[in-house]
Structure 1
Amino acid sequence: MRDLIVTLIVFGSLPFIFKRPFYGAVLWIWISVMNPHTQGWGFATTMPFAAIIAGTTILAMLAKPKEVVFPNTGYIWVLIAFTAWMAVTSVFSLGVEEPWTMMKKVVKIMGMTLVVAMLVRTRKEIEMLLWTVVISLGFYGVKGGLFTIRSGGSSRVWGPAGTFIEGNNEVALALVMVVPLILITLPLVANKWGKRAIWVSAGLCVMAAMGSYSRGAALALGAMLGFLWLKSHDKAKLGALLIILAPLALMFMPEQWHSRIDTINNYEQDDSAMGRINAWRMAINLTAEHPLTGGGFEIYNHLIFAQYAPVPEDVHAAHSIYFQVLGEHGYVGLALYLSIYLLVWRNGSWVINHARNIPELEWARRMVSMLQVSLLGFLVGGAFLSLAYFDVPYYVMVILVATRLLVEKTLKERAQQAPAVRVEEAHGVA
């Protein structure tokens, strides 16, 4: 039944994409982030829904070029440069496995990120993208939160199989990211019960993140909540809420959870933590010999670790977005990767500064503040996970940059209208 529902939704939506290509961006994010077909057990699990949606969207864009606008921003150009550089490092790959399978996957993610950026223009479209991400990840957060409460926190929360967020660490970080995104939707819901449902959903996502037993997510959660308080427009209310609920959540979790989280303070005695450090040192040593291109994709194997790791037999994945990019794409790749986030962050700061004290742009200021909180959660938690190519942060950045472009447009229109208003007022006085 689930397979049939997902199939009907996808194929039933294709005609609407030709009518309005933006619907293709929404459907793409839903299918690639939520992966609803993985919740079935039949034919839908192997259907190439993503390829069908992507192909239909691109055809629709070619058929209706007036609805496509290339966002000429630094974020987009650096994203393109980063993708191109990954192709270069793939040519000089050091791994025994061919890198092009992973390169194709990354190109699809970056390419469709560009497609989404070219199709979102209005506030309504920005909010639709936001809702799509919130629903896609919030579904697993609510489900995982209820599971954590029901099990008393004794069982771990895992993500959907065969996806970026399959592991407990990965799904936890995704849920840390989605909490501030959920809170953005509060002003978009008028019904008081709807607002309460949003608060409950955010709380369940926090419980699910804790129920993953992920230590990196615990650090990211703490950083995100702290920054959320700093960015809040009602610090007293949110602060009181956190002071009351945080201890209750910690008290709810069992002793085995606290024991695992406490290993952060004694990482030298934890094999998993030391394995990550070994992988980070491998990336540093490899890049010392290949500073420009790094080792390319597929460097986490016995051959590479035998050459560059302090403990050759302890082969681990990068377990850090920063060391992952450094080891795979060198210092050039790392500089481009960090520049993406720096440029987007500056876009957000620009919106906050220029939208201040303008009532019609208050929505943009609030949205961008929470988007920054979401990205900060990812940047902190990503320090311990190999999620450099996880698509959700790129969609969050697209929403932020689209908001910046819309604010710019609004301010220009206000500036153009101001002289006419002053002339009218002058004539009225005369």
Structure 2
Amino acid sequence: MRDLAVALVVFGLLPFVLKRPFWGILLLAWLGYMNPHRLCYGFMLNFPIVFIVAIFTMIGLLVAKETKRMVWSREVVLLIVFVIWMGITTTQAMYPAYAWLQYEKVLKIQIITFMTLLLLSTRERVDLFVWVVALSLGFYGLKGGVFTIAKGGEHRVWGPEGTFIGGNNELALALVMTIPLMRYLQTQAKRRSLRLALGTMMFLTAIAAIGSQSRGALLALSAMGFIFWLKGRHKLLFAILIPAVAAIILALMPETWYERMGTIETYQDDASALGRINAWWMAWNLARDRFFGGGFEAFQAPTFAIYAPNPDNVHDAHSIYFEVMGEQGFVGLAMFVGLLLLTWLKCSHVIRMCKKRPDGGWARELAAMIQVSIIGYMVGGAFLGLANFDYFYHLVALAVVVHDIALRRPAEGAARSVPRAGGAAGSRAGAST
């Protein structure tokens, strides 16, 4: 039944995607973040539905008359250079067969990112896109939050198997990054019932992130709580509300959760933490020895045998920074960190630019919440290897587009205020003769 429902929705919308490719962007976001096909049990489970929707969207981009606008900014240029650099490092990879497969996946993610950039041309489209992302991941927030409360936090919350967010740590990071987007939607909602529903979703999503038992998620939520307070307009309210919500959530968790979180301080006695540190040293030594890094999928046993302090303790990167360092070298790491920094600065410029503009409140709020989400990614990602997570690149696209729209609106308003030839000024001249 699930398979038929998902198939009817997706295939039923494909003809409309050809005429309105922006619908394809929304459909790809739904499929990419909620992964409804991965919740099926029949023919849709492994059906290449994302590829099919992407092809239809690309055809729609070519044939449809829908508004398309590429925003060229320093972030976009740096992203293109970074993608090219990853291609260069792939040609020098230690494990070419694995590396080319991973680079192919990265290219698919970036193609969809650039299609998103082309079609997010108005505030209305930006809001629709944010709604789809927030509700897609909010589904797991609601489900996981209720599950954590019902089970007393004894069992971990997991994502859909075989996806970017399948693991408990990966899902937790995605949920943490989504809470700020939910907050943006809440600030823009006019109906009280909708604001209450989004507040409930934020609360349950935070519980689900904690219920994943991810230590990185706990640190990310803590950092985000401070940034929420810093960016919020009602600092006194947030100073009371954030600790209160945190106390309620922590009161729900069992003793086993506190024992696991306590290993953050006693990492030297935790095998998993020691394995991560060993992998980080391996990435450092690898980047020092190879200018292009090891290429994608470099965290393999033979690499550890050469570069790791403990060659027998083989682990994944477990850090976006050391993942990029080991695979793309120091040059790639500089580009990746530079993209994070430039996106933050782009949002800061939007906030300053729209601070006193009555029409810029939405852009200011969204830019601030993108910054909060990036903080969640930077802190949580320090302990998780999700450098190629499409969510981050969608945040980059959102920041660039919001900045462009905020810049264009005053200019468009000024253009409308200038009388056109034969307009009001010409009428007055005619009346005086």
> Smaller-chain TM-score range?
over 0.9
What is the letter of the counterpart of residue 114 of structure 1? F
In 1, are the aligned partners of 2:188 and 2:362 still within 8 Å (CA)?
no
Distance 1:208 1:164 in 2: 17
Superposition pairs of residues 190-229 of structure 1, within 5 angstroms: 190-229=190-229
**Distance between the aligned counterparts of 2:269 and 2:94, measured in 1?**
32
**How far off its partner does 1:21 sit?**
1.2
Q: What residue in structure 2 maps to residue 389 of structure 1? A: 388
Question: Quick check: 1:345–1:372 contact (8 Å CA) kept in 2?
Answer: yes
Tell me, yes or no, if the aligned pair for 2:21 and 2:66 is still in contact at 8 Å: no
By how many angstroms is 1:395 displaced? 1.1
1:402 match: secondary structure? helix
> CA–CA distance in 1 between the matches of 2:188 and 2:5?
28
User: Residue 266 of structure 2: SS of its match in structure 1?
Assistant: helix
The aligned amino acid for 2:107 is V
Distance 1:233 1:98 in 2: 48
Q: TM-score, normalised by structure 2?
A: 0.95
1:375 paired residue number: 374
Unaligned runs of 5+ in 1: none
Q: How many residues align?
A: 423
Report the Cα offset of residue 376 of structure 1. Answer: 0.8
> Which residue is equivalent to 2:54?
54
Equivalent residue, structure 2, for 1:91: 91
2:305 counterpart residue number: 306
Amino acid at match of 1:302: A
Match runs of 1:144-155 below 5 Å: 144-155=144-155
| AA of the residue aligned to 2:345 | R
Residue 263 of structure 1 aligns with an amino acid whose one-letter code is T
Give the corresponding residue for 1:178. 178
- C-alpha distance in structure 1 between counterparts of 2:165 and 2:84, whole Å: 25
Shift of 1:418: 6.7
> Alpha carbon RMSD of aligned pairs, Å?
1.7
Partner SS for 2:203:
helix
Name the CA distance, whole Å, in 1 between partners of 2:128 and 2:23. Answer: 9
Contact kept in structure 1, 2:68 and 2:121, CA below 8 Å: no
- Aligned partner letter, 1:179: I
Percentage of pairs with the same residue: 43
Structure 1 partner of 2:80: 80
The farther-off stretch of 19-28 and 96-105 is 96-105
Say whether the 8 Å CA contact 2:90–2:96 is kept in structure 1.
no
Deviation at 1:414, TM superposition (A): 4.1
**Taking structure 1 as reference, are residues 285 and 201 closer, same or farther at Cα in structure 2, changes over 3 Å only?**
same
Deviation of residue 96 (structure 1)? 6.9
Per the alignment, residue 12 of structure 1 pairs with 12
Alpha-carbon deviation of 1:379?
Answer: 0.7
* 2:267 counterpart letter in structure 1: Y
Q: Which aligned pairs between 1:26-41 and structure 2 lie closer than 5 A?
A: 26-41=26-41
Partner Cα separation in structure 2 for residue 245 and residue 218 of structure 1: 14
After superposition, what is the alpha-carbon deviation per residue over 1:310-336, rounded to whole angstroms, capped at 9, x for unaligned?
Answer: 000111000000000010001111111
Partners of 2:98 and 2:208 in 1: CA distance: 37
1:73 offset after TM fit, Å? 1.2
Output the CA distance in 1 between the equivalents of 2:378 and 2:14.
35
The C-alpha deviation readout for 1:199-251, integer Å capped at 9, x for no partner, is 01000000001101111111001001111111111112222112322222212
> Which ranges in structure 2 are unaligned for 5 or more consecutive residues?
429-433
Separation (CA, whole Å) in 2 of partners of 1:274 and 1:96 = 29
- Number of the residue aligned with 2:343: 344
Give, in whole Å, the separation in 2 of the partners of 1:282 and 1:276: 10
Q: Structure 1 residue 124 and structure 2 residue 124: aligned?
A: yes
- 1:273-314 Cα offsets, whole Å, 9 max, x none, are 0100000000000111113x1000121211110000000011
